[in-house]
Chains A and B, each alone.
Chain A
Amino acid sequence: MSPEATTKTTYHVPIGPIHPALKEPVFFEFEISGERIIDIDVKLGHVHRAVEWASRKRNPIQILYLAERICGICSYCHPAAFTLAIEAAADIEVAERAEYLRVIQGELERITSHILWAGVAAHEIGFDTVLFLTWEIRERAMDLTEYLCGNRVTKGIMTIGGIRRDITKDMLPRIQKDLKYFKDNFGKLAHIFLDDKTIKMRSQGAGILTKENALKLCAVGPTTRASGIKKDLRADTSYFAYGDLDIDYITPEALTGEVNGDVYDRIIQRLLEVKQSIELIEQCVDKMPAGDIVSEPKIAKVLAQLKKANGEGVGRHEAPRGEVIHYVKLTGEDAPFTWKVRAPTYNNILPWIPMLKGEQIADIPIVAASTDPCMSCTNRVAIVNNGQRSLLNKEQLHRLSVEKTRRLMH
């Protein structure tokens, strides 16, 4: 053996793209010294499905269902952001009652998603009994979704200019009953997550994302709020009916009085948001005005109007994982000229690096899961040339982006 090989060296451990600890394909390369992580590299692009490309031959009503299939858990957020973008591009008015109904759907999805996450987080630290307890509660949220939308996962509730299903008076008792169930069980869930020794031992002080790093890396959603940044689209801007509702930024400070930005804070953050969502749904049920649920009930008319429309629009919605942005350009044709999706996980990937540096190998699953990553939403581009995959650096991407903007302008 040569003398160089016997000197102290670090190990490179590849994890993924297919790995038992990962629910979705993503590739990590860890540089490890003993049990400690020295450096990490993340590679994406294993589940690119060309969703945006598929939109080029579909009209906006058809794209609603394509957008729904970007993510299984955010199956309301993507159509919602897309609808907002289309409505901005074509100046379509929205019925007032629908704005409230949209909030109810969005918040119900947040409850479902956050409780699902709580279960997954428990599973990642090997606490599977909590997984089953949380998913029992989530099942009720799913049943309520099914009751309001017709189906459990692909809700098919969003439409341009309003919403497809109304909440009638006879449906209210069921909603109130389920909200009461969530409230009763919220206490139980909070007790288990916040007081249990096992969860505290694994999550306190693990995967710290400082406020500074969260700002620098543009983290979004609960990940950034758990680091103490007051960034919430629902309170920052007024879309849907959020402007009329009583909503404020939530950070873990509300419960513990301090912000550490660790995994434990992200657990607190999501639990507090579940509580906030229950309150928002209650407010909506109380304040909802009577009236139509769509501004134009004839879909053929909406399609004709969209075909004539010229313009571009941006739709932003606070999804359970953070801000989702859709950009649409209409040029007077059946299909939109372009459609761009930016899912929240895209922003929450870079924060993994400061979170994981210096941590132990055993903390990788829980720290990675603490941002609630969703890989299939994130993969928007894959560069393949003659069957070879290639990587682009920042300068090349910038050049391509400038070129595309010029193309769009002409």
Chain B
Amino acid sequence: MGFSMLGPVFRQMFKKPWTNKFPAKYQPSSTTKYLEAVGAGKVKLNPPVPTPPGFRGKIIYDKEKCIGCKLCLKVCPCEAIEFKEKDKKIKIYLARCCFCSQCNDICPTKCLSMSNEFLLADVDPYSKELIVE
């Protein structure tokens, strides 16, 4: 056949679109109002595509288990971890984090782990949501 792409193109016309409409099926007239409504529980978000097992998202820090050994500071490629000398604990700036989970691997007490939370966009890189301590 001379034009072998014609078949797939016509078949595609009757297929369901692949795109997952996230966070809303249609563009809301006002994004801020829409988000407020979501916050108030009036509207439900169209769910995102589920993350795979072992996804590297926002870091979870178990402060009680941390012994302040500073090994994670040594391997962090982005220098996103700060050591708090006073209480011998760490502070992670997620705005700088590259989500490699190397700190999880080196931690001797396994006090760090990766969650599957990935909706971390923020206008302020130092907002409360983006600092783990």
A residues with CB within 8 A of B: 58-59, 61-66, 127, 129-130, 132-133, 136, 139, 143, 146-147, 150-151, 154, 156, 164-165, 188, 191-192, 195-198, 299-300, 303
Contact = CB atoms under 8 A, between A and B. Distances in A.
A313 to B, nearest CB: 21
Give the residue among B18, B75, B78 with the most A Cβ atoms within 10 A: B75
Contacts of B76: 62
B41 interface: no
Contacts, number: 76
Interface of B: 1-5, 8-9, 12, 18, 52-56, 71, 74-78, 98-102, 105-106, 114
A66 B100 CA distance: 11
B74 A59 contact: yes
Contacts of B114: 150
Contact of B101 (A58, A132, A133, A156): A156
Contacts of A192: 4-5, 8
Contacts of B77: 58, 61-66
A132 B17 CA distance: 12
Contacts of A147: 52-53
Nearest to B75: A61
Contacts of A130: 5
11 contacts: A61-B77, A61-B102, A65-B98, A129-B5, A133-B8, A188-B8, A195-B4, A197-B2, A299-B105, A299-B106, A300-B74
B3 A300 contact: no
Contact of B99 (A61, A143, A151): A151
Nearest to B76: A62
B4 A300 contact: no
B55 A196 contact: no
A64 B75 CA distance: 10
